[in-house]
Amino acid sequence: MASDLENKAKEAFIDDHFQLAADLYSQAIDLNPKSAELFADRAQANIKLGNLTEAVSDANKAIELDASMAKAYLRKGIACMKLEEYQTAKAALDTGISLASGDSRSRFASLIKECEDRIAEETGQLPKEELELPSNAIPMQEEPVNGLSSGTQDVAPPKPKYKHDFYQKPEEVVVTVFAKRVPADCVSVDFGEQILSVSINVPGEDAYHLQPRLFGKIVPANCKYIVLSTKVEVHLAKAEPIHWTSLEYKETAVVRRLDTSSDVAMRPTYPSSKPKKVDWDKLEAQVKKEEKDEKLDGDAALNKFFRDIYKDADEDTRRAMQKSFVESSGTVLSTNWKDVGSKKVDGSAPDGMEMKKWEY
């Protein structure tokens, strides 16, 4: 069945129906999720559609499944170059050329040379004029499949399964994906120079992907993520201390550098569409006060009372509470260490009941 879908996907690709091809590859992957070939081919379809971060994610998965597949590195390199991620692209292409053979090696070499030129331009090592192509030069084409030309079409993005948000500090951006009770082994996070890829694949559920091109560049080696019971928290180390007005890259965005010496700059900032600014520190203090003043009834109130006593008690009081409670089988709770410290605390059954010892 997976092979039939793969053949149909290739036919759709040949007919320039790239979205249909991507959908068919997705169906084939659901049936055969260990096929590196399917992920590499879907990466190419996503490149044609302009879904570049998805293409990088698919190429990464193909490399994970088969680290010797040269075309997976090629497609990652092409997608990263289109995202202007030249360092990441060059690293992928350098690995791919060592695995390639025949005419494909020249393709790798050409792309590596372009990456080196772009990196040199970014770092100011070469004047921009030296990188301009002559008027009679033929621009490099995208990787052809069976000699066919490329094409694109508009595709409506699917509704995300989980919500996400972010806040920032001068040195990092923290992205939160609100996914509850997700096993850590079902979460995959990849970092690029300006790419974040978060994938959540829980068996029996639809897969979730967050793959934005980021507002600013990051340092992948210093990035990390944590899977908690209520969320997945991703920490992105900024390459430079600028203020991110959004999580995703925008060509028209105004870049503002942060003054890291200012106390105000050290506070996390949160995105908001409201003109009125929110004092998050004040809001957090208010929530904690409400929790402390919350009125409880019955056993909940009694348990809270005992917890508060234990939390604020000194070491002797805590020892007395622990010893009396354990030795009396939960029927006595004393706070006087001098009274219970030197003797065994006997249990006291409530009226109408009697104490019994369990035999082990």
pLDDT for the residue numbered 242? 87
pLDDT for the residue numbered 62? 92
pLDDT for the residue numbered 262? 53
How confident is the model over 107-144, as pLDDT tens digits?
Answer: 889 899 998 888 888 776 554 444 444 444 444 444 44
Low-confidence ranges of the chain (pLDDT < 70): 124-159, 253, 258-278, 291-299, 302, 355-360
pLDDT for the residue numbered 131? 43
Question: How many CB atoms are closer than 10 A to CB 160?
Answer: 11
